[in-house]
Structure 1
């Protein structure tokens, strides 16, 4: 009798915890905010959203490179100090996808489907580099957008690089309940964004994804859209699965990841190997002295590795 009562209580506590976390950490809408024009960027309207983008070396003759921020929900500001070298070979384009970073945010989470992000990226490529193939660099969750692009418009992609990317199939991971309960965000979507810019540096998120914790201070987390980041692969989109859809592709691909111990639950070496196999990549390059942000922690090696893959010697 006692065992049965305890079991019932445990089930009730578990169900209550799940409902509590869903209500607090799965906001049903994003904040309503205009695009922010700063950082030397420009604004372009694509499919009803004002999108922030920035071009370096616009007149460059080499293959244009598009850099996709992770999250999705983060601004490209955290990438720029470590990716600017890509402008040495040709035009370099940073941009914040709809609902992310400095681009316009609309409240309805139905605006943030992978199909929408893919169409938006294709339109931006057509606008900035009409008739040209482009190189794409994806970090973390934006690897899903890179995979979608490979399916939707492979003829526009010259080469693609996946850095600490998710694999080709959605993998559900249990939430760190204790960490979330200790860090309850505000209910207001705008206040939640402000809260999240600090929270994502905690041990519950990116704080655990650095080989050297001192390097965490170099991570710029300004302009995070929490609602999009938290809901993207749960309540907004059905679980993605590109398995078997890209094994015949001819796009040269480079797959990079950090030390398994300091990667996320779905971006370590095991998932990098799956990704590499599915897209016919040549190999997985592991940065053992880095976590999820190898371009910060081992920048010199990262630059050398990427330059070799993209054929910089042919562009200089």
Structure 2
């Protein structure tokens, strides 16, 4: 896919935040509304989303940034800064500095949670929301994940239970058991794509403690969202249909696509289908405006 790539840093609260943008090779005057992509984790940098740059074929720019503490961005000097409120403020600042007044906002996993936060605080200029593999309630997501684990082979599930009970989650046995889970519910591709491997080499860990986000639940607020919304999940996704259903039920007019040959990374597992679905959705939104 032909496109132009540029990257740089911006500053927010005395930290350097990396951003990159893929621009189409078409004339600038012909470009359409850009897409801002929010990565997951928290703390798994943008690399694994890079294939979304193929959306430049629709004549629009695709912008990524690494949230503080991961990827190409700086680590926080004081890890206590990490919070949902911080990342929401960081997102607003990125938009302001980059002049992204009107955007399509695409969030994957935790990135979708952040997109919801940004929307629910009344951020302007969001033409559409694309929420890929996103729950609205973290405790429900964790509960569903453990339900999926209980359906693993008994010996594998036993290792997970015992290791977590004994605080041995760094053990090779636990890591091997979780790998079985990931192969079923995180990414069906084997081996993992290079972009995913690169992302996990640069993952940030300071914000990954459950205490920061465990009580996050925006389900009661979803009915206030008036923006055209596309929901995407995978048939084998660790974000199960039970997690996505509240979004679909409460966001009026939302469209929900379940990718039948995917788990948590349908933008990679069924890439062409994913790009086509997002392209058609945002084109339809723009055509109505």
TM category, shorter: 0.7 to 0.9
Q: Which one of the candidate residues 268, 277, 283 is aligned to 1:296?
A: 268
1:131-182 Cα offsets, whole Å, 9 max, x none, are: x211111111121101101112332211110111122464343594446666
Q: Which one of the candidate residues 254, 257, 276 is aligned to 1:282?
A: 254
1:192 aligns with none
1:67 aligns with 37
1:245 equivalent to 2:221? Answer yes
Gaps of 5+ in 1: 1-38, 186-194
RMSD: 2.9
Count residues in correspondence: 256
2:23 aligns with 57
TM-score normalized by structure 1?
Answer: 0.72
TM-score normalized by structure 2?
Answer: 0.78
Q: Identify if the C-alpha distance between structure 1 residues 153 and 178 changes in structure 2 by more than 3 Å, giving closer, same or farther.
A: same
Answer whether contact 2:222 2:247 (CA < 8 A) is retained.
Answer: no
Instruction: State the shift of 1:184 in Å.
Output: 1.2
Q: Which one of the candidate residues 140, 148, 172 is aligned to 2:117?
A: 148
Q: Identify if the C-alpha distance between structure 1 residues 205 and 40 changes in structure 2 by more than 3 Å, giving closer, same or farther.
A: farther
Choose 159-168 or 64-73, whichever is displaced more. Answer: 159-168
Answer whether contact 1:207 1:216 (CA < 8 A) is retained.
Answer: no
2:83 aligns with 113
Q: Identify if the C-alpha distance between structure 1 residues 204 and 115 changes in structure 2 by more than 3 Å, giving closer, same or farther.
A: farther
Q: Distance in 1 between matches of 2:31 and 2:254?
A: 27
Larger Rg: 1
Instruction: State the shift of 1:314 in Å.
Output: 6.6
Instruction: State the shift of 1:201 in Å.
Output: 11
1:125 aligns with 95
SS in 2 for 1:41: strand
Instruction: State the shift of 1:128 in Å.
Output: 1.2
Greater strand fraction, Structure 1 or Structure 2? 2
Answer whether contact 1:64 1:135 (CA < 8 A) is retained.
Answer: yes
Answer whether contact 1:169 1:242 (CA < 8 A) is retained.
Answer: no
2:170 aligns with 184
Q: Identify if the C-alpha distance between structure 1 residues 238 and 215 changes in structure 2 by more than 3 Å, giving closer, same or farther.
A: closer
Q: Distance in 2 between matches of 1:138 and 1:314?
A: 19
1:1-316 residue pairs with structure 2 within 5 A?
Answer: 41-57=7-23, 59=28, 61-80=31-50, 82-88=51-57, 89-130=59-100, 132-168=101-137, 170-171=139-140, 172-173=142-143, 176-178=160-162, 183-184=169-170, 203=179, 206-210=182-186, 212-214=188-190, 216-218=192-194, 219-220=196-197, 221-229=200-208, 231=209, 234-237=210-213, 239-259=215-235, 262-264=236-238, 267-311=239-283
Instruction: State the shift of 1:55 in Å.
Output: 1.3
